[in-house]
Amino acid sequence: MMERVELAPGLNICRVLSGMWQVAGGHGRIDPGMAVEEMEKYHKAGFTTWDLADIYGPAEEFVGEFKSRLPPSESEKVQALTKWVPDPQRITRGITQAAIERSMRRMRTALIDLVQFHWWDYNNPYYIDALKHLSDLRDEGKIRHVGLTNFDTERMQVMKDAGIKIVSNQVQYSLIDRRPEVKMARFCTDNKSSLLTYGSVCGGLISERYLGRQEPSVSSLDTLSLRKYKRMIDEWGGWDLFQMLLSVLDRISKKHGVSIANVATRYVLDKPAVAGVIIGARLGITNHAEDNARVFELKLDGEDLSSIEDVCTKSTDLFEKIGDCGDEYR
């Protein structure tokens, strides 16, 4: 049974979202025709919610084509959550509207479910202007809701003080990176906002494929995701500690008859303020829909959580080392 949640009024999403960063390059060649066909397979399996961005190559066009192939009754069941990632500059109403209307054309829609705003430079104050313009477009019916990507707790407080309504923040959250537990989750819970999380299976590193393996070289990691999350593992505690974690997850997965990735995903899904976990989809290359669905059958017990915690307490405090959510990008 698929788990769903009302992220915000009028926006009910699947709690495992299919991520489309992988179509932007660096994850193997994506054939457009096969990609759209694969999206239809995910949809039929019940995975109706897609996470994408204006900078993810053809992702928005794929969504538009995919939805156009569905009967109207099925197209209405799709939730497409995109991002707007402008260069830090003075943001005007015209710049904002042009960007959103471009996404609308690509996605072939008159209403975007959620625009998740990202901003590279906190020293540039125009992110508040951008959010106000997005809020105006929401009130005018072009956007259903406004969210964030990789903002920290301090900036979310600034937005709250400015009277800006934010329904979600997309951040990295996994067994390796538990920084959202320090400040972000409490802020979201207190302010009726939710977390959408990515990196929860570390690009595939948290899986049987890497259990018992020697530490891979950078050159052997063949996707941007693998290289990115291997660096995070290095910061967290290194390959030996990671192998200890995989061994624990392997025991838990066999106990419940699921995969290691399922255990890692369920762990994050059960955390306060988390509405959904984004799992990347290499459309036309691999399909993890059947495995992802097993997440909804899994219940972690106290023994499972205690054994996981025993390993994680040996790791480096990434909040102290890196900073709050999103600080790794700034």
CATH number at residue 73: 3.20.20.100
Within a domain: residue 216? no
Q: What is the mean pLDDT of residues 291-314?
A: 98
Task: Give how far Cα 287 sits from Cα of 14, 75, 223, 279, 282, Å.
Answer: 17, 21, 16, 11, 7
Evaluate whether residue 192 is within a structural domain. Answer: yes
Does residue 85 form part of some domain? yes
Query: 159 lies in a domain?
Result: yes
pLDDT tens per residue, range 61-91: 999 999 999 999 999 999 999 999 999 899 9
In a domain, residue 133? The reply is yes
Question: pTM value?
Answer: 0.96
The backbone torsions φ and ψ at residue 77, rounded to the nearest 5 degrees and listed phi first, read: -85, -5
d(CA 118, CA 84): 6
The predicted-structure confidence for 229-246, as pLDDT tens digits, reads as follows 999 999 999 999 999 999
Domain assignment present for residue 51? The answer is yes
Contact 38, 283 (CB under 8 A): yes
| Interval 183-205 mean pLDDT | 97
Q: With respect to residue 262, please indicate whether it lies within any of the assigned structural domains.
A: no
Q: Are 23 and 58 in contact (CB under 8 A)?
A: yes
Say yes or no to pLDDT of 28 above 80: no
For the cut 80, the answer to whether the pLDDT of residue 154 exceeds it is: yes
User: What is the pLDDT of the chain when averaged over all its residues?
Assistant: 96
- Structural domains counted in the chain: 1
Range of the domain at 180: 4-207+268-299
Under 8 Å between Cβ of 34 and 285? no
3 state SS of 198? strand
Q: Is residue 227 part of a domain?
A: no
Alpha helices in the chain (DSSP H): 32-44, 59-69, 72-75, 93-107, 127-139, 153-161, 184-190, 224-236, 239-256, 260-269, 289-293, 302-312, 318-321
